[in-house]
Amino acid sequence: MDLYLIKIIVLFAGLVLSKSNGKQIINLASHNATGIQTNRLFPVTLPPMLNDQCFDASNQSGVCYTRLKCRLIGGAYSGICALGLGACCVVSQSCHKQTSDKVVYFKNPAHPQVDTSAQLCDMTVNVKDPDVCQVRLDFVDFQLDEPTLGDCMGDKFKVTASGGSPLDIPVLCGQNANQHSDYRWHVKVTQIDCKLGYKWQLLPDNSQSEYPPAPIGCLQYYTPPAGTVESFNFGQYINNVDYAICIERQANTCRVTYQATDNNWSLDSTQISKDLAGVGDATCNTDYLLIPGGSGSSVPVNTPTYDRYCGGRLNWQNGVALEAPVVSKTHGPIVLWFHSDSIQDPTVSEGFRLRYEQSSTECTTGPYRDVTGSEAVRNSGAKVV
């Protein structure tokens, strides 16, 4: 019996395309069942690494299967694994297919070419392993209609689930300055075994061979100590979203610095001059990125901190025309929260692309005087462990 069903649906209107969201990820929490994994196709003792994740010559991830099993499930094998007893099997699926494979690539029918006809395309993921607690989506290639003032009016990407688990996944679409009437997507779907915990390794190209499970309540989860996070469809963010972006805190770090140039930041605000930096609950009461306990990089200990940031610049000071880093020295999990309402001002609709970096410097100073932090984070709905 299937423990869990996740359906990925793409609706095409055959309209305008968008740019790729290649760096975007989504973690879908499924269930908390526990048990011992069994494999009915291989009743004998398996050699080391058989059924483990592997990578083909083009760095697509697959599962180490026998060649016979790979053919039976419709996969393509490339290279050997498990001491030569297995083949790295990469499974790709398209419209109206079902799969229970731990790693599968969901693609439009003509991929890598584009499709143009209007249709509904769905793929169902059957989670059968009781040790799997999450499903992760990596957007390798994602080109659909651009949103209209923040609303996905044409092509849409949806994720639904059975089993009663809530999925606060926004409806997604794309955006591209070069408009044309076709679409293409390539999404990697990975089932995460939570009994493995944080047993994973970093590959030479900085990709991960196994993903650690995301904390509860995190739609996106980043594990590097420094990197870039961005809003979905950066260039024109989507309306009516409300989700947490989580970053794994590194040992012996006490601060996180966030930076964005004026070309990488614009969110609606209540200011008359919306190209200025917006800070605080009153200014950022419609669309905002919540950075708990934000302040300047070198400010006195008792400097007030704020959580909500919006406007045409990212700066820890309200109403200024220049960008400046925002530094957070809050303790515990690192959680950003992005919220947008149903109305978008096209003059400040780009979204955000932030560079973050954790640090252990100045860990003996502070804490700052938190003006809105604790209450704002409590009200955000962020649930982390």
Q: Is the pLDDT of residue 162 over 90?
A: no
Most confident region among 15-24, 99-108, 160-169, 314-323 by mean pLDDT: 314-323
Asked whether residue 182 carries a pLDDT value surpassing 70, the answer given is: no
Q: With b meaning 16 or more CB within 10 Å and e meaning fewer, what string describes 333-352?
A: bbbbbbbbeeebeeebbbbb
**pLDDT category, 281, cuts 50, 70, 90?**
very high
Q: Which CATH class is domain 221-380?
A: mainly beta
Which pLDDT value is given to residue 23? 52
Tens-place pLDDT, residues 69-98? 898 888 888 888 888 888 889 888 888 988
Assigned token pair, 66: 């026998």
CA 350 to mean position of chain CA atoms: 18
Give pTM, 2 decimals.
0.77
| Cα distances (Å, whole numbers) of residue 319 to 278, 305, 310, 315, 343 | 6, 15, 10, 9, 22
Say if residue 202's pLDDT is above 50. Answer: no
Taking residues 39-47, report their average pLDDT.
40
pLDDT of residue 31 exceeding 70:
no
Q: Is 5 helix (H, G, I), strand (E, B) or coil?
A: strand
Residues of the chain with CATH 2.60.120.290: 221-380
User: pLDDT of 262-273, one tens digit each?
Assistant: 679 999 999 999
**Mean pLDDT score across all residues of the chain:** 77
